[in-house]
Amino acid sequence: MGARLIIKGGLVVDPSQKLESARDLFIEDGRISKKFSPEGAEVFDAKGCWVVPGLVDMHVHLREPGREGEETIATGTAAAAAGGVTCVLAMPNTEPPVDNTALLGFLQAKARTEATVGVVFAAAATLGQKGEQLTEIRRLKDLGAGAISDDGRPIMDSELMRRALEHCRDAGLLLIDHAEDLNLSSGFAMNEGAASAAKGLRGAPWPAETVHVLRDIALCELTGAPVHIAHISCSQSVEAIRQAKRQGLPISAEAAPHHFTLIDADIPGYDANYKMNPPLRAKSDREAILEGLSDGTIDAIATDHAPHGLGKKALGLALAPCGVIGLETSLALSLQLVAKKIISRKRLVELMSCAPARLLGLKSKGSLKPGSDADVTLIDANAGWTVPTKFISKSSNSPFVGMKLKGRAKATIVAGRVVHAL
């Protein structure tokens, strides 16, 4: 008999079983178990908490290899644990990019010893993410790649995108596209609109995203391959995906907390902690994303956690690189949507756990059914806290510093082990 843990007295919320009721959760040998006798078992008090399948963040940059000064597998996954996230999809735009089995295998081995939470690595779609030659998609899949993506860069060549989708369909891997027409977005510092006009900065107009979303929908229909749109930001893209889903196409999308919380008009001065790609959009775009999260058009909440060092962000809005961190604030920002009754408790868990696990084909995650991995997040929805200036992440480039939030992860359990507890 192995290690036994009982999570006692919480409200179990598990959309995968259509479950929302007060009950105890049983864990044995790193898996969710049927009820067993409490004798000799460790008990974790979950009174006042929601007990949900561990959160899966399908868009995270761990910066390893190449930029270990800004984040590592160890620090990024520690930040994930603190945020209630039990599994992350690490994006392949590292230096060098994860475009071959040797590097993928090396990172997997490193994660096994250094990661606090589960890490699945996405592999690049093209060698060097240059948008020219496809990677060995099948062999990457066989080694355990979780998805294929040139994230950070769009696949501009539509013919190449078509072939990538065909190979992904053959391999049974999800292709995640960073939808951006680089000509339309050239030189942007923020969204194109009144705020960029006032600051005298180059803006990216919404079609920079939507043109590629519409292309991806067309290629999805042509190839029958699932396409996942990363970090969707514009109302027109949300509407395009809504229509495509109505046609029954295998298209999915994620939204980031910054896009459903902030708009371009919120950017104070030239503060680069508000700079990311795609940029913060208009009020109507934020509202469309909230609607998409609520009505099922948008499948998942993902952070696009993108650590950058202080020096780079000090360059200001025009020159600083894009990206903000998000692992430690994502759950709390999403809980605001539940508090405002924009989404239900169950929908939150669907968006942050069940759906991303399903999209990535992680069959033993995103559920608390007996036999599933014992990845569990305990949420105290009433805990008030202020986002600190210092994070567990190695970087602190967040626009939410100082914000007062309600709700956070009381405890994070990965494979039956408590990796974070308040």
How would you classify the pairing of strands 404-414 and 417-421? antiparallel
Q: In this chain, which of 103, 244, 317, 368 binds other proteins, going by CB under 8 A?
A: 317
Phi, then psi, of 266 in degrees rounded to 5: -80, -10
Contacts with other proteins by CB under 8 A: the residue count is 21
Q: Please identify, among the stretches 14-22, 34-42, 186-194, 363-371, the one whose residues bind other proteins according to the rule CB under 8 A.
A: 186-194
Q: Is 304 an active-site residue?
A: yes
Task: Please say which residue, 191 or 223, places its beta carbon nearer to other proteins.
Answer: 191
Q: Which stretch binds other proteins (CB under 8 A): 40-48, 106-114, 251-259, 308-316?
A: 308-316
Is residue 315 near other proteins by the rule CB under 8 A? yes
Q: How far is the CB of 316 from other proteins (least distance, A)?
A: 5
* Using rule CB under 8 A, residue 322 touches other proteins: no
Q: Does 196 interact with other proteins (rule: CB under 8 A)?
A: yes
Residue 128 C-beta: closest distance to other proteins, Å:
20
Distances (CA, A) of 376 to 22, 52, 224: 15, 6, 34
- Measured CA to CA, the distance from residue 380 to residue 9 in angstroms comes to 13
Q: Tell me the two tokens of residue 336.
A: 């605001």
Interface pattern 99-138 for other proteins (x via CB under 8 A)? ----------------------------------------
- Is residue 182 close enough to count as binding other proteins by CB under 8 A? no
Determine, following the binding rule CB under 8 A, whether residue 3 of this chain makes contact with other proteins.
Answer: no
Looking at residues 253 to 282 of the shown chain, list those that interact with other proteins (rule: CB under 8 A): 269-270
Q: Which of 102, 194, 222, 422 binds other proteins (CB under 8 A)?
A: 194
Assess 187 for contact with other proteins (CB under 8 A): no
CB of 192 to other proteins, least distance (A): 7
Q: How many helices (H) and strands (E) does the chain have?
A: 13, 18
In terms of CB distance, is 189 or 354 closer to other proteins? 189
Candidates 304, 373, 375, 380; catalytic one: 304
Which residues are registered as beta bridge partners of 4? Answer: 28
Structure tokens at 98: 């994860």
Reference 56, options 300, 298, 323; nearest CA is 300
Q: Which two tokens stand for residue 410?
A: 């009381």
What are the residues facing 20 on neighbouring strands? 13
Other C-beta atoms closer than 10 Å to the C-beta of 103 total: 18
Instruction: Show the binding pattern over residues 139-178: x = contacts other proteins (CB under 8 A), - = does not.
Output: ----------------------------------------
**Of the ranges 43-51, 160-168, 197-205, 379-387, which one interacts with other proteins (CB under 8 A)?**
197-205
Q: CA quadruple 118, 227, 325, 57: dihedral positive or negative?
A: negative
**Residue 310 in the binding site for other proteins (CB under 8 A):** no
Distance between CA atoms of residues 405 and 257, nearest Å:
13
> Could you tell me the maximum CA-CA distance found in the chain, to the nearest angstrom?
68
The four Cα atoms 400, 345, 342, 90 give a dihedral, to 10 degrees, of 50
> From CA 251, how far away is CA 243, in angstroms rounded?
10
Q: Known catalytic residues?
A: 304
Can you give the binding site for other proteins, defined by CB under 8 A?
A: 189, 192-201, 203, 269-270, 311, 314-319
